[in-house]
Amino acid sequence: MKELKLLSSKNYKPQGPNYGDCILIDTGSQLIVYDCGCEEHAERVEQYMSDHGYEKAIVVLSHNDADHFDGIPYLIENDLVSKVYAQLFLKHKDEILKLIEDKRVTNKSLSERIKNDYDNISSLSGSVELVDAIELQDIVPGVCIVGPDKSYCLKTIAKELKNSEGNTIDAETVINAASVQISVKLKDKNALLCGDCSFESIKDKLSDYKIIQLPHHGKPETAEKIFAEKLGENDVIFLVSDNTGDSNGGSTKLKSAGKQVKKTLYGDVSYPGNSAYTVKVTRTLGRFEMGWFYSEIHPSMLFWKWTESTTGIFVFGIKHLFCSCW
């Protein structure tokens, strides 16, 4: 595997509140794009493909939300996509109907509801080859869909489509909780990419991975559970695709003392190779944090951050060090 690259919106202009995720998986012979949340991301994917000699990419959509989807139409319209893996719930409507157990819900009404609730996925029909991501499967050698399993996926969507049920499960919206998860075999580590999935849908997989994307843009409540599961494993790298600030998920309130956390908040993140900064918080005292952040292309730097409690605005300071003290 050549490279895993998380795109950052740090230098996009104008700055918007939520550019969402876009992760590139470059095998050296094929490019897989896991989510593409805005046209700015899509334009950078196009440039990456031109620079690396790719005519077509395979797209994997974790779930229907706009901040994971909105750049995909650009890629399709510019003939840059060979196929899209997405959850095609319409193919499973008979099974979902049985799970709903409500005679008032008909096959026709269920189909319309699925098309409406999963409108972005539905809009792709006829414009590109669609592959059902509900079934666990290999995408290319070294990259495969590993979750959620079909049972969790269909039970989750059935919960949303029941008129008497709420639209949350396992502390996430139903659409988020059932995000498609993919495994990437890198040279020396396996990576798990999670979209906005629930902790419950990945907890049994965590022991197999040394690189883990923290779901929902580094949402603290989920991240803390993952940290607890990986307690004592000092070689684990946690990735955060956080192009949202605190607006949707968001990692600025994430407490990561002693963890290797790479955030797109500071720039693109790549593994292996040059990346944005790895952040390692060594002290947390109330609203005050201090620690180190570094990358392969910058010297180590000491940082401190103080967050104002009512507005969430933070003050951030750094000091360059002229030796690598990591």
Count CB-CB contacts under 10 A for residue 284.
15
Instruction: Write out pLDDT tens, residues 208-261.
Output: 999 999 999 999 999 999 999 999 999 999 999 988 755 555 677 788 778 999
How far is the C-alpha of 143 from the C-alpha of 318, rounded, in Å? 38
pLDDT of residue 226: 97
Q: pLDDT > 70: what percent of the chain?
A: 79
Residue 296 has pLDDT above 50, yes or no: no
Residue 289 has pLDDT above 80, yes or no: no
Instruction: Write out pLDDT tens, residues 147-179.
Output: 999 999 999 999 888 866 668 888 899 999 999
Buried b (16+ CB within 10 A) or exposed e, 232-268: eeeebbbbbbbbbbeebbbbbebebeebebbbbbbbb
Task: Residue count of the chain, please give it.
Answer: 326
14 vs 35, higher pLDDT = 35
pLDDT of residue 297: 36
Mean per-residue pLDDT over the chain, rounded: 86
pLDDT of residue 108: 95
pLDDT of residue 321: 40
> What tokens does 125 get?
């029909």
- Average pLDDT, stretch 105-123? 95
Superfamily of chain region 3-276: Ribonuclease Z/Hydroxyacylglutathione hydrolase-like (3.60.15.10)
